[in-house]
């Protein structure tokens, strides 16, 4: 199994940390992982993205031009990455702020109203975990116990008290994910 994922959105949406938690959880589950971020000025208030690869084998390239899954959190990222999803692949996006919805017919498309739900439930800090929950519902690549360990490893000890809140957000996300198009 090799899963190649791009997560993209605004800086500050927790894109990089979502990727990091996913990658650390992968390590906990004894998988090979890579996490390659965009970096530099484009991060400051602009778009942020991270490529995460989870695999049972040694990972060759951490830099990829087509993905099994794209998790898209703003319009700029949609424009940039919609065409990079492999045919038959998965696109998850938060429709909040999306003006041009994806038109591809050869991929599976889901929406997750994560920012709206996070606002309602006062879970803005765990918005990214809601999105991660949606992804894990569709692709349960990592078992919950390893996600727990991944959170422990990713978050500094002083934030460990927030782990239950993060796990709750993941569960919220699993309920929230909605199919738009299946191929």
Partner 1 sequence: MKELRLMKGNEAVAEAAIRAGCDGYFGYPITPQSEVMEYLMYQEPHKTTGMVVLQAESEVAAINMVYGGASCGKRVMTSSSSPGISLKQEGISYIAGAELPCLIVNVVRGGPGLGTIQPAQSDYFQSTKGGGHGDYRLLVLAPASVQEMADFAGLGFELAFKYRNPVLILSDGVIGQMMEKVELQPHQPRFTKEEIKANTPWATYGKTDDRGRNIITSLDLDSHKQEKHVTHLAEKYQAMEENEVRYEEFQTEDAEYLIVAYGSSARISQKAVDIARAKGIKVGLLRPITLFPFPKKPLAKLATQVKGILSVEMSLGQMVEDVKLAVECKIKVEHFGRYGGIIPTPDEVVAALEQKIIGG
Distance CA 142, CA 26 (A): 7
Say whether residue 37 binds partner 1 (CB under 8 A): yes
Q: Which of 10, 17, 59, 76 binds partner 1 (CB under 8 A)?
A: 59
> Minimum CB separation from partner 1 for residue 94, in Å?
24
> Minimum CB separation from partner 1 for residue 141, in Å?
16
Q: Which of 10, 11, 29, 36 binds partner 1 (CB under 8 A)?
A: 36
Distance CA 51, CA 45 (A): 19
The smaller minimum CB distance to partner 1, of residues 23 and 73, is found at 23
Q: Which of 1, 44, 56, 63 binds partner 1 (CB under 8 A)?
A: 63
∠ at Cα 168 (120, 32), nearest 5°?
Answer: 125
141 contacts: CB under 8 Å, gap ≥ 6: 1, 3, 26, 54
Distance CA 147, CA 165 (A): 13
Pick out residues in 116-155 that bind partner 1 (CB under 8 A): 153-154
Q: Which of 33, 54, 118, 131 binds partner 1 (CB under 8 A)?
A: 33
The smaller minimum CB distance to partner 1, of residues 50 and 177, is found at 50
In this chain, which stretch among 35-43, 104-112, 113-121, 129-137 interacts with partner 1, using CB under 8 A? 35-43
In this chain, which stretch among 33-41, 89-97, 112-120, 169-177 interacts with partner 1, using CB under 8 A? 33-41
Say whether residue 93 binds partner 1 (CB under 8 A): no
> Minimum CB separation from partner 1 for residue 66, in Å?
8
Say whether residue 41 binds partner 1 (CB under 8 A): yes
**Residue ranges that bind partner 1, judged by CB under 8 A:** 20, 23-24, 27, 32-37, 39-41, 59-65, 153-154
């Amino acid at each position: 199994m090799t899963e190649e994922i791009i997560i993209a959105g605004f800086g500050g949406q927790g894109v990089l940390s979502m990727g990091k938690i996913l990658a650390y959880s992968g390590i906990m589950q004894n998988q090979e992982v890579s996490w390659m971020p965009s970096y530099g000025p484009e991060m400051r208030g602009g778009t942020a993205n991270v490529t995460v690869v989870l695999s049972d084998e040694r990972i060759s390239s951490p830099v990829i031009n087509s993905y099994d899954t794209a998790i898209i959190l703003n319009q700029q990222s949609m424009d940039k990455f919609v065409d990079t999803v492999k045919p038959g692949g998965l696109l998850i996006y938060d429709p909040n702020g999306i003006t041009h919805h994806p038109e591809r017919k050869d991929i599976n498309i889901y929406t997750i109203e994560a920012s709206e739900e996070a606002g309602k439930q006062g879970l803005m800090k765990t918005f990214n975990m809601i999105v991660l929950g949606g992804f894990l519902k569709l692709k349960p690549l990592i078992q919950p116990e390893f996600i727990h360990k991944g959170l422990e490893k990713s978050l500094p000890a002083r934030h460990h008290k927030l782990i239950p809140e993060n796990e709750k957000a993941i569960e919220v996300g699993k309920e929230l994910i909605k199919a738009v198009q299946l191929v």
